[in-house]
């Protein structure tokens, strides 16, 4: 159990956030907004943080999740709760299919080539959906009317407010457990070697492709569940230009970097900071949040390449708190 001690501060942050949200009137939505950013940070960290590969097309996995849920709710509405369960299944299935496609092509590439290839996958998929008019093409899928007709306004409302939030929270808790499991297991050690020097890792006899794929699949699966619950279930619509919007990928990358790539606590703290800042900046300076974030991103990259948690861990080395922070 000692290895799982670092989960303690992470869960403490989640619980405190949720308690604040549930007890203070008007704070639940901001807290869920923050939880979404924590979620995409934790999800992407499982790949980018652990392998060091920059996936600029990560949002495509959230999009696949969003479409999986939308397809289930749109075409199998009569199943009720079953449609939601089917939606999560389809979300996982679609993202796994995309994983196989991307894994076959892009994961053979490294560095800048990998980054460009993933942009290609994201944009290509988006334009395939728009161009070939798959799942409604550029008009997307709008569910609210259909859900209200099938379930009645109360249950539809219950789905999009309560169920969606609960699903997102569960996914985030599970995602953090998966991260600590990966870090502590053989997979984590192999990925650490891979991140430092892929060729050397190969020479030592580590099956780098296998471990890269494990991290990739895990991260994609979590991402798709977040897309299914925080987007489709909560907002009840899916538009291709929204769900393939490359800025979400970038936000997730910023969160991973700010917190410290490959750490457990990092994306949680930075997701909290990022989400809260973004929410309040959009209130104070509507439309100009990015103007404040861009310099912040540049400063982090230049001055603090290890991120917040990486920096704190360096300071705490040898102290008793050290083993709680990962």
Partner 1 sequence: MAFFEQLASNLIYGMLLGGVYGLATMGLSLIFGVLRVVNVGHGAFIMLGAFTAFWMFTLYSIPPIASIVMALVIGLALGYLIFMSVMRRLLDAPELSTLLAMFGIGIFIEELAKFFWGPDYVGYSWNIGGISFPITEIPFTKICAFISSIIIAALLYIWFQRTKLGKAIRAVVEDREGAMVCGVDVNRIYALSFALGIGLTVLSGVLVTLFTPVGINVYMGGDYTLKAFVIAVLGGLGSPWGAFYAGFIFGLLENGSYTLLGLIPGVEPFGLTRFVSFAGLLVILLVKPTGLLGGE
CA distances from 69 to 4, 208, 292, 320 (A): 33, 33, 34, 45
Q: How far apart are alpha carbons 237 and 20 in whole angstroms?
A: 29
Minimum distance, C-beta of residue 232 to partner 1, in the bound complex (Å): 21
Minimum distance, C-beta of residue 280 to partner 1, in the bound complex (Å): 17
Of 2 and 247, which CB lies nearer to partner 1 in the complex structure? 247
Name the β-bridge partners of 322: none
Q: Can you tell me which of 293, 310, 316, 322 binds partner 1, judged by CB under 8 A?
A: 293
Considering only residues 42-71, where is the footprint of partner 1 by CB under 8 A? 52, 54, 56
Minimum distance, C-beta of residue 107 to partner 1, in the bound complex (Å): 11
Minimum distance, C-beta of residue 41 to partner 1, in the bound complex (Å): 14
Q: How far apart are alpha carbons 249 and 245 in whole angstroms?
A: 8
Considering only residues 218-277, where is the footprint of partner 1 by CB under 8 A? 246, 250, 253-254, 257, 261
Residues whose CB is less than 8 angstroms from the CB of residue 109 and which lie 6 or more positions away in sequence, other chains included = 117
Considering only residues 80-109, where is the footprint of partner 1 by CB under 8 A? 105-106, 108-109
Of 93 and 298, which CB lies nearer to partner 1 in the complex structure? 298
Q: How far apart are alpha carbons 276 and 103 in whole angstroms?
A: 34
By the rule CB under 8 A, 301 interacts with partner 1: yes
- Dihedral sign computed on CA atoms, order 69, 71, 77, 79: negative
Q: Can you tell me which of 148, 297, 306, 324 binds partner 1, judged by CB under 8 A?
A: 297
**Residue (of 52, 68, 71) closest to 60 by Cα position:** 68
The two most distant CA atoms of the chain are separated, in Å, by 61
Report CA dihedral (258, 259, 261, 263) to the nearest 10 degrees.
180
Considering only residues 104-143, where is the footprint of partner 1 by CB under 8 A? 105-106, 108-109, 111-113, 115-117, 119-121, 123-124, 127-133, 137-138
Number of shown-chain residues binding partner 1 (CB under 8 A): 45
Q: Can you tell me which of 26, 286, 287, 318 binds partner 1, judged by CB under 8 A?
A: 287
Minimum distance, C-beta of residue 293 to partner 1, in the bound complex (Å): 7
Of 28 and 245, which CB lies nearer to partner 1 in the complex structure? 245
Residue 317 has phi, psi (to 5 degrees) of -50, 130
Considering only residues 188-207, where is the footprint of partner 1 by CB under 8 A? none
* Buried-state track 176-214, b at ≥16 Cβ within 10 A, e below 16: bebbbebbbeebbebbbbbbeebeebeeeebebeebbeb
Of 184 and 289, which CB lies nearer to partner 1 in the complex structure? 289
Minimum distance, C-beta of residue 263 to partner 1, in the bound complex (Å): 15
By the rule CB under 8 A, 304 interacts with partner 1: no
Note every long-range contact of 206-210, with CB atoms under 8 Å and residues 24 or more positions apart, other chains counting: 209/107
In the complex, the residues that contact partner 1 under the rule CB under 8 A are: 52, 54, 56, 105-106, 108-109, 111-113, 115-117, 119-121, 123-124, 127-133, 137-138, 246, 250, 253-254, 257, 261, 287-288, 290-291, 293-295, 297-298, 301-302, 305
């Amino acid at each position: 159990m000692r290895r799982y001690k670092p989960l303690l501060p992470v869960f403490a942050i989640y619980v405190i956030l949720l308690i604040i949200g549930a007890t203070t009137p008007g704070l639940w939505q901001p807290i869920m907004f923050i939880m979404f950013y924590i979620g995409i940070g934790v999800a992407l960290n499982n790949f980018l943080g652990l392998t060091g590969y920059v996936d600029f097309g990560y949002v495509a996995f959230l999009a696949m999740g969003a479409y999986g849920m939308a397809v289930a709710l749109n075409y199998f509405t009569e199943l009720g709760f079953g449609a939601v369960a089917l939606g999560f299944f389809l979300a996982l299935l679609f993202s796994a299919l995309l994983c196989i496609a991307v894994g076959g092509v892009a994961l053979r590439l490294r560095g800048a080539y990998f980054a460009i290839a993933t942009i290609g996958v994201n944009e290509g998929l988006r334009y395939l959906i728009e161009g070939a008019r798959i799942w409604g093409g550029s008009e997307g899928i709008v569910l609210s009317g259909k859900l209200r007709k099938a379930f009645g306004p109360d249950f539809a409302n219950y789905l999009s407010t309560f169920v969606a939030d609960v699903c997102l929270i569960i996914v985030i808790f599970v995602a953090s457990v998966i991260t600590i499991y990966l870090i502590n297991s053989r997979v984590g050690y192999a990925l650490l070697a891979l991140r430092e020097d892929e060729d050397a890792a190969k020479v030592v006899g580590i099956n780098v492709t296998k471990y890269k794929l494990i991290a990739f699949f895990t991260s994609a699966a979590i991402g798709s569940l977040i897309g299914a619950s925080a987007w489709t279930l909560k907002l009840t619509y899916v538009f291709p230009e929204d769900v393939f919007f490359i800025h979400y990928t970038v936000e997730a990358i910023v969160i991973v970097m700010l917190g410290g790539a490959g750490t457990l606590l990092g994306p949680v703290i930075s997701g909290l900071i990022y989400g809260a800042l973004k929410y309040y900046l959009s209130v104070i300076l509507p439309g100009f949040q990015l103007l404040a974030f861009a310099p912040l991103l540049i400063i982090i990259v230049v001055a603090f390449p290890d991120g917040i948690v990486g920096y704190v861990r360096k300071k705490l080395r040898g102290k008793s708190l050290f083993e709680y922070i990962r």
